[in-house]
Amino acid sequence: MNGARSRLLLITLLLAAGAAAAAQPPSRDTAITKPVKQIGIYVTPYYESAKTVDGHPTVAVATAFDTQLSSNKREDILAVRDAIQAQSKLITPMTLMALAIRLYDVGLRDDAVFWFYVAKDRYLTMAAVLDMKTASLAQAADAIDAFSSLAGPFINGYAFCNLAKQRDEKLRAITWIEQHPYEALSMEKIPALPGDRTQNLRKSIETLKESAQKERQYLDDPKNLEEFNKDRKDDHVIEQFCWTD
pLDDT at 190: 96
For residues 206, 212, 218, 224, the Cα torsion angle rounded to the nearest 10 degrees is 160
Q: Say yes or no to pLDDT of 27 above 60.
A: no
Place 32 in a pLDDT band, splitting at 50, 70 and 90: low
pLDDT at 53: 83
From residue 181, alpha-carbon distances to 92, 122, 184, 203 in Å are 11, 8, 9, 13
Q: Say yes or no to pLDDT of 99 above 60.
A: yes
What's the number of domains the chain is made of? 1
Terminal Cα distance for the chain, rounded: 23
pLDDT at 245: 77
Parent domain of 222: 2-241
pLDDT at 1: 46
Per cent of the chain over pLDDT 90 is: 83
From residue 61, alpha-carbon distances to 65, 141, 202, 238 in Å are 8, 14, 27, 32
Helix axes 109-129, 93-105, angle to 10 degrees: 170
Q: Where is pLDDT greater, at 27 or 132? A: 132
Q: What is the pTM of this model?
A: 0.88
Q: Say yes or no to pLDDT of 93 above 80.
A: yes
Helix axes 163-179, 197-220, angle to 10 degrees: 170
**Does residue 242 contact residue 158 with C-beta atoms inside 8 Å?**
yes
> Which backbone phi and psi does 193 adopt, to 5 degrees?
-75, 165
Mean pLDDT of the chain: 89
Contacts of 114 (CB under 8 A, 6+ apart): 169, 172, 173, 176
pLDDT at 16: 29
Strand partners, 192: 130
pLDDT at 21: 30
Q: Say yes or no to pLDDT of 74 above 80.
A: yes
CA–CA gap between residue 42 and residue 25 (Å, rounded): 12
Helix axes 163-179, 109-129, angle to 10 degrees: 50
pLDDT at 23: 34
Tens digit of each residue's pLDDT (9 = 90 or more) over 160-196: 999 999 999 999 999 999 999 999 999 999 999 999 9
Tens digit of each residue's pLDDT (9 = 90 or more) over 13-23: 333 222 223 33
Q: Average pLDDT of 142-146? A: 96
CA–CA gap between residue 73 and residue 231 (Å, rounded): 35
